[in-house]
Amino acid sequence: MQNLSRRKLLGLIGTAPFAGALVGSGAARTAASMGASRAPEQTASREKIRLRYFPDVALRTQDNKTVRFYQDLIKDKIVTINFFYANCEGICPEVTANLVRVQKLFGKRVGRDIFMYSVTLKPEEDDPAALKEYEKMHGIGPGWKLLTGKPEDIEKLRKSLGFTYPNRAIDQDKTQHIGNVRYGNEPLMLWAACPGMAHAKWIAESISWVIREDKA
């Protein structure tokens, strides 16, 4: 499949819930060149996206460190986000293994230019110790945080980020959770998503489309 076709496919699967926030690479270059001199209307748009999609809930990492979702994890960063749970016998281990391949493709850029986040869907079971064990089991490297928190905060986060099904019964069944990976460049307001089981090289290439050129 040619790159242009991939880009079109990515746009189709990545527009919700960030409709209007995903823009083309030409706009990315323009926004990157603006630097600190961001237009007031762009700043206002960024704030609207933050308020709608990024609740600043408190979470805990696999190292039992408390972090705020927006202020500490999302603001001013290029990120990937997916949901999982430690004792999942479905798609979780496969998606995690695939994202480990993505992490290896980016190498030392993870934790420096790109930050990876996986949020548990079962915070009542997945405390930091369980997440730490999951990290070791799957060979997850630095720059990738596994996150837990209060059940109500995790649910708020899941819905805000659009990891939901229209069918209520399916949406409440954690064994059928969405295996997508959302990724984006927060300061440039570039957001999209792709299947977590897509080819690792394609996922890495897709993420590269939202990386500022001065970070390449």
Which CATH number does the domain housing residue 140 bear? 3.40.30.10
Question: Considering only 150-154, 184-188, 191-195, 212-216, which range has the smallest mean pLDDT?
Answer: 212-216
Rounded to 5 degrees, φ, ψ at 102 are -60, -45
The dihedral over CA atoms of 188, 114, 74, 94, expressed in degrees to the nearest 10, equals 120
- Give the model confidence (pLDDT) of 90-147 as tens digits: 889 999 999 999 999 999 999 999 999 999 999 999 999 999 999 999 999 999 999 9
Q: 13 lies in a domain?
A: yes
Q: 216 lies in a domain?
A: no
Q: 115 lies in a domain?
A: yes
- Give the model confidence (pLDDT) of 25-56 as tens digits: 333 333 333 344 456 777 788 999 999 999 99
Give the pair of three-digit tokens for residue 34.
Answer: 């603006």
Q: Which domain holds residue 167?
A: 3-31+39-211
Q: How many domains does the chain have?
A: 1
pLDDT at 198 over 60: yes
Instruction: Give yes or no for a cis peptide into 17 (omega within 30° of 0).
Output: yes
Asked if 74 contacts 67 with a C-beta cutoff of 8 angstroms, the reply is: no
Q: 163 lies in a domain?
A: yes
Q: 59 lies in a domain?
A: yes
- pTM over 0.95, yes/no: no
- Can you list the positions of beta strands (E) in 69-199? 78-84, 114-120, 144-149, 180-185, 190-195
